[in-house]
Structure 1
Amino acid sequence: MVNRDSPALDDPVGRSLGGHHAHLARRLGRAATYLPDVATFSAVSADPGPAEWADLAGLLGPGAFADMFSCPATPPPDWEPVFSLQGRQMIGPGGARHFHAETGTDEGVVDLGADSVAEMLDLVARTEPGPFWPRTHELGAYLGIRDNGTLVAMAGERLRPPGWTEISAVCTAPEARGRGHAARLINALVARIVARGECPFLHVAEANTGAIALYGRLGFTTRKQVTFRGFRTP
């Protein structure tokens, strides 16, 4: 049974950094952020005071980018806003049997690791699915599809709050779209996630209506609207 009210989903970055991804975290006081080249996401407590913001600034350094993801807390006035993007958090049912497999097979799906980073970064640069760095693949399993040896589609696991795994970096090269690659990869990831007793979830920009429609066909439903925000430290 999927718990739509799970508090872990209200602070996915902080709960990931304090749990499954603790080995990829940097911490100072109650502030935390990922190691460089893994992710830019940072986290503070639900009601951070000036000292906590100072700790996060100390972790990141002066004039650094602080990606607060969906954290609603407002930094001090001397933190420069960089971006604000409307989005939504979507969750999938708690069992693979609920998912509609548009392709009916995961044939051709391959695991991607450190030896595939150059290909992954190239595909991300061409498709812009969201932030992806040289060590992002260390967050979880990443899967891909190749066409004549060339990586043309991928998707993977990112945030890991307790009981949940986020599906992210879903992208397909322009010349390979319309073949069901994204659905095949998402279904393959969902199968792995539910097999280990967790539930899948994801985040998507509100303007990406095509992706929202695809996720809906695959069984995902909107849990809540979110605002993604980034700032620059003083």
Structure 2
Amino acid sequence: MAAEEEKKLEKSVDELNQQRIDLEKEINNLNLTKIEKLESINGELETKIEWLDKERIRATKERDNLLRKVRHSKEKNWKNALKMVAILGVLDLVVIPLIITLLKIPLQWIFVSMGLVTFFGVMLIVNYMSGTSPFNTGEIRKAITVSFLTVYLAIVPMAYGMVIFPGGSSALPIVNNLSWLMGAIIILYFATRPLEQYIKTIYEKK
């Protein structure tokens, strides 16, 4: 009986040893699988990092190119705007007086013509510089202010006898009235913008 029990114990020990060996093999296999998975994930991450680096470099180059284009575009816009201002000045100072003189139109119409040409010219220039498609209130406000200022500066010399209306009528009352009107326009020009911002802020809060 003792011999049989000893054999059974030895057999049990051998089975346990075999199970231990099998478990060690399974553990090693699992570790290898995990290591392979980790290496695969690491490789994928490195590939993604390289791709992201390339994308970052490409995005940086595109941003630099875009900034360079915008800078050149702004320079071009300013040059074109200066050309438009020069053309507007030639129209106001040379072309309109020349046409009025050649056609023998009454002198008063020179100021109407200057106001209209300046209004539309400034509105086009401001709209061109802003890059917006429709005309907004700010552009129209600037155009009105500049056109009135141009007409006002053209009429001011009349108050000092530099220009006299046909019939010898004095221009001083007109200049005085325009001075009040010009002051009101300037006040409204600087006052309406904060008012617009305030109203916009109230609507945004609602």
TM-score, normalisation: structure 1: 0.21
Larger Rg: 2
Q: Which fold has the larger relative contact order, with Cα–Cα distance below 8 Å and residues 6 or more apart in sequence?
A: 1
More strand as a share of residues: 1
